[in-house]
Amino acid sequence: MSMPFGYVSPEQVMKDRADYARKGIARGRSVLVMTYADGILFVAENPSSALHKVSEIYDRIAFAAVGKYNEFENLRQAGVRIADLRGYSYDRTDVTGRMLANTYAQVLGTIFTTESKPYEVEITVAEVGETAAGDQLYRLTYDGSVADEQGFVAMGGNAEAVATRMQQGHREALPLDEGLRLAVDALSSADGEQRSLGAAQLEVAVLDRTRPRRKFRRLPDAQLERLLTPTG
């Protein structure tokens, strides 16, 4: 039996969608999420002061993303609404990073398989624990795949090169200043050329376990300049 004219196999459709999404994500500047001594550090190459790649979701949970801004912003807003509703209906402790990661995985998987165009996004959901052993990093890709990462997550066009540099220098209990300088070094050298990334080109935030209930905090440029300057 001959196939109808224009037939495309499901396998080819999925491959084409995956290639399309990967190409869109690869055009984005990299984002790095990593553990440090007092929590979780987010460092993004992002010169915009208004369009954030890193945002708070709930008390102990934050979100980082690369790809198309309008698409990951839709996901961020949905996550905030889901977290608020669950925390209000049950208890604030019932809002967890794993719950949000599973929800995002279902949404992204449905969009990838049923919509005409997949989301060109890659996201990380991070939850800071009471101790370093409780820190959680969940990486989600355009097709809804989710992975529980350890130590750090690199996303974006130069993710492999950033990850290679991080593997050489990352360790548990890094102080904030050392962790930030390592992250900036990895981002600035990921494309094979050493670039200079200053505070104006960076978006940096932390989930700080030593803070009271709300752990998320953005680092202003003045503090970034101090942290990026070695003290000798």
> What does the pLDDT read at residue 232?
45
Per the prediction, the chain carries an average pLDDT of: 92
Split at pLDDT 50, 70, 90, the class of 6 is low
Residue-wise pLDDT for 73-103, tens only, equals: 999 999 999 999 999 999 999 999 999 999 9
**198-211 pLDDT, tens digit each:** 889 999 999 999 99
pLDDT at position 141 is 96
- pTM for this model (two decimals): 0.93
Query: By mean pLDDT, which of 3-7, 31-35, 134-138 is the weakest?
Result: 3-7
Mean of pLDDT values over 172-184: 93
Residue 7 pLDDT exceeds 90: no
The answer as to CATH 3.50.30.30 being correct for domain 25-225 is: no
Whether 5 has a pLDDT exceeding 60, the answer reads no
Q: Where are the domains of the chain?
A: 25-225
pLDDT one-digit tens code per residue, 37-72: 999 999 999 988 899 999 999 999 999 999 999 999
Contact 93, 25 (CB under 8 A): no
Does position 213 have pLDDT exceeding 90, yes or no? Answer: no
31-47 in b/e form (b: 16+ CB < 10 A) is bbbbbbebbbbbbbbbe
pLDDT of residue 156 exceeding 80, the answer is yes
Q: Are 148 and 8 in contact (CB under 8 A)?
A: no
CB 43 within 8 A of CB 31: yes
Model pLDDT, residue 9: 85
